[in-house]
Structure 1
């Protein structure tokens, strides 16, 4: 397989994904920025397998979420319920398969409310355990979690070979955590992996996301399950409209590691430009957020005569706000370059990143 391939349109790309899965591949993991066409790609993939009354793809995307809509009882403001689109095959077997008992243990991992499914009138009511008679309106994030757990319950049925979902040959999941926080992004990823590691079925899976943390969680989880999986990065050319699929190989997609590699490369080659202070600040901010600090200066090494690290914090703050262009680079002044290199060197000593990802790492690794 080449390192990247170009496709004229999403139909050609969806066909290629199906071909990959036919080549004894069980998982494709795809990263793409919002607006690239991920959701449309999932529908193209589904469309190829939909001929007349036959279908082969169980999918989760923005269209799945649209199968659920709120009736907020605007007149009485009491009987609030989430309506289900009964025309969709997504809800096949809703009554006879006791979906509420399948969804509830999944949902309890995330939230503290309960629900009732009305299989005659096709809606769901939510309530708190301490007040089962009150119909509550759950938040958008909680609603997404409920829909996600509904989907997982169906995935479980498909993997179990339930008659209502015998048609499922592929599962396509696009951004299941669009409205969730970082903690739930990790929880959802780990929970999903527990479903995917089952080996007693022949279903193939595509997962796409714009969420870098979720992508990285899934990269590590799926690699543990199946080392033959295909991780890739999807992009679209603004000039030609073509789509490019780059196969990322053995390296997960981390924004902060890419920044770190770029900064270390600039330092090692001496090609240090004014815009690198932008990248340095971004690296410090991402690291401070990860460690729970409110200010990026917390990730700058403190000097004995500057216990609050105010000097270098102000330098980074000031020098990263200049009108510096990535497309018209200006070499950094010697004094500022010394500050830049010191902050970066201290950062690497303070947070010992794996040396194998940094420039000149292979030679260093051989001596260790």
Structure 2
């Protein structure tokens, strides 16, 4: 077990040190533990050497409901790359691969927007389709995936044969939870494609840091990257001690949840409940619901007097894209409801730290 880290910079140092002997670091942690802060810090410490995917990349794209187009920020680093390298056709191909569908994006760089349609060349063609939130996530991922794939292919050539020197300084790909809103089939497709990129990149010494809160995504990547040169971790954050990066030897990170119980109980005792503890509670609920076969989902396991309020807050915090940055501000009303429901949950389902 490693020493605790009081700062993100110290945590990042440990991750980078581990990459000296491995080609990838796969990190599991619930939302608000610090994944986004870690990913952003790795980018900030080496802007030219890191190609980053996180929620801020997704923010470069916004939906215009009136015109039924996806607007893009032309100043985004990734978008500048796809323009200069002419990757629009690769993005379309990758989007259709990950969606296994007929929807085709049309990228208009001049106006900074993407429209979607089904183009069959006959009366069955349809323009101006409003894609789903999952498809939007896949499109943004396809942009990043296309740039990263092109970078790996380019760097595989000898320097004098490369078509561009734009990727020469890259040393690290940092990918923070790219599968939000995706269904299981697409999560598996993204994970398998990403594992192939990691394998291709090993020949050019490009390292990967991949963080996720999604157990299936972690599971598929873990099993696809089963080599001594790939390391897996579970990231925790104690109320007092700070971050801990623990080795994860199995493809299912759920033994980690026993530590969550102890951490949350400590936060309750110290009256130091943060947003991270709400997301840890949700992870426990999801694990228990899956184990017991509750088809109605984890909400069925909240049985105390504040079940409705805690359900609402758990959904709110788990979908708050910036909760990882501002993870401490919790209303007193929410804290009291949290205490009640957490204690009821432990009693009803016999969870205990160390059990």
TM class by smaller structure: 0.5 to 0.7
Structure 1 position 252 matched with structure 2 position 255: no
Q: CA deviation at 1:49?
A: 0.7
Partner of 1:86: 74
What is the RMSD of the two structures over their aligned residues, measured on CA atoms? 3.3
Which has the larger share of helix?
A: 2
Trace 1:202-281 onto structure 2 (pairs within 5 A).
202-223=205-226, 226-240=227-241, 242-248=242-248, 250-255=249-254
Q: CA deviation at 1:106?
A: 1.6
Q: Is the 8 A contact 1:216 1:252 kept in 2?
A: yes
Q: Deviations over 1:218-249 (max 9, x none)?
A: 111111xx322221111111234x1111112x
Structure 1 position 31 matched with structure 2 position 28: yes
Q: CA deviation at 1:153?
A: 0.4
Q: Deviations over 1:30-75 (max 9, x none)?
A: 011111010111001111113xxxx2111111011001112223xx
Partner of 1:303: none
Structure 1 position 286 matched with structure 2 position 291: yes
Cα distance in 1 for residues equivalent to 2:287 and 2:86:
49
Q: Is the 8 A contact 2:234 2:256 kept in 1?
A: no
Cα distance in 2 for residues equivalent to 1:143 and 1:42:
22
Q: Deviations over 1:285-342 (max 9, x none)?
A: 43747xxx789xxxxxxxxxxxxxxxxxxxxxxxxxx957459x89xxxxxxxxxxxx
Partner of 2:86: 98
Q: Is the 8 A contact 2:254 2:287 kept in 1?
A: no
Cα distance in 2 for residues equivalent to 1:257 and 1:48:
29
What secondary structure does 2:234 align onto?
strand
For structure 2, the 5+ residue unaligned runs are: 155-163, 259-283, 298-342
What secondary structure does 2:3 align onto?
strand
Equivalent position to 2:130, from 137, 140, 150: 137
Q: Is the 8 A contact 1:29 1:207 kept in 2?
A: yes
Partner of 2:167: 165
Q: Is the 8 A contact 2:117 2:128 kept in 1?
A: yes
Q: Which has the larger radius of gyration?
A: 1
Partner of 1:44: 41
Partner of 1:114: 104
- Call closer, same or farther: CA 1:134–1:219 in 2, change over 3 Å: same
Q: Is the 8 A contact 1:159 1:200 kept in 2?
A: no
Q: Deviations over 1:158-194 (max 9, x none)?
A: 1122433333211001111111122222222112112
Equivalent position to 1:152, from 142, 145, 148: 145
Partner of 1:127: 117
Cα distance in 2 for residues equivalent to 1:143 and 1:87:
19
Cα distance in 1 for residues equivalent to 2:40 and 2:220:
24
What secondary structure does 1:4 align onto?
coil
What secondary structure does 2:10 align onto?
helix
Q: CA deviation at 1:210?
A: 0.5
Higher relative contact order structure (alpha carbons within 8 Å, sequence separation ≥ 6)? 2
Q: CA deviation at 1:156?
A: 0.7
Q: Is the 8 A contact 1:256 1:283 kept in 2?
A: no
Equivalent position to 1:190, from 192, 195, 205: 192
Provide the aligned length of Structure 1 versus Structure 2: 269
Structure 1 position 66 matched with structure 2 position 63: no
Q: CA deviation at 1:28?
A: 0.4
Q: CA deviation at 1:6?
A: 1.1
Equivalent position to 2:10, from 9, 12, 31: 12
Cα distance in 1 for residues equivalent to 2:40 and 2:132:
27
Q: CA deviation at 1:80?
A: 2.1
